[in-house]
Amino acid sequence: MAEGSQNTSTDMTQNKNLAYLDGTYISHLLNWQKQIVPLSTSNDSKLKSLHPYTRPLTPRDLESCVVLENLAYADSGGSMSRKKLEYLLNRCGGLCLGIFCTVVPGSDFQAETLSTS
């Protein structure tokens, strides 16, 4: 009898994990995100015109990566050297993602950004 209850518990856990495969995972994630990040208010209307996306970094992104690395770690001196960044982007760039934002044309959104190489 103990085996039956143990199997039922395991089956329930597996079914609960499989439930996320039918799309409920995304709805749970979105609901959780709403609790942590409040929706934009009218004061944040300019942020609505940003459209962030990620893409793998390539060797063409080297200059931008060097500048960003030096700015991000300016105080600690822990930035990666240009040579290490170049090696990383050439050998395993697919493992490195960059976050980029696009702005809807005509939205008059002005943001200071680094140019891409």
Q: What is the pLDDT along the chain (117 residues), one digit of tens a residue?
A: 444 445 555 554 444 544 445 556 566 656 655 555 555 555 566 666 667 778 888 899 899 888 888 888 877 778 888 999 999 999 987 888 887 776 666 666 666 665 665
Angle at 54 between CA 52 and CA 55, to 5 degrees: 140
Is residue 29 domain-shared with residue 86, that is, in the same domain? no
Is residue 80 domain-shared with residue 67, that is, in the same domain? yes
Is residue 50 domain-shared with residue 24, that is, in the same domain? no
What is the C-alpha separation between 7 and 13, in angstroms, rounded?
10
Structural domain for 115, as ranges: 42-117
User: The pTM is what?
Assistant: 0.46
Is residue 26 domain-shared with residue 71, that is, in the same domain? no
Is residue 61 domain-shared with residue 105, that is, in the same domain? yes
Model pLDDT, residue 1: 47
Is residue 57 domain-shared with residue 105, that is, in the same domain? yes
Cα of first residue to Cα of last residue in the chain, in angstroms, is 67
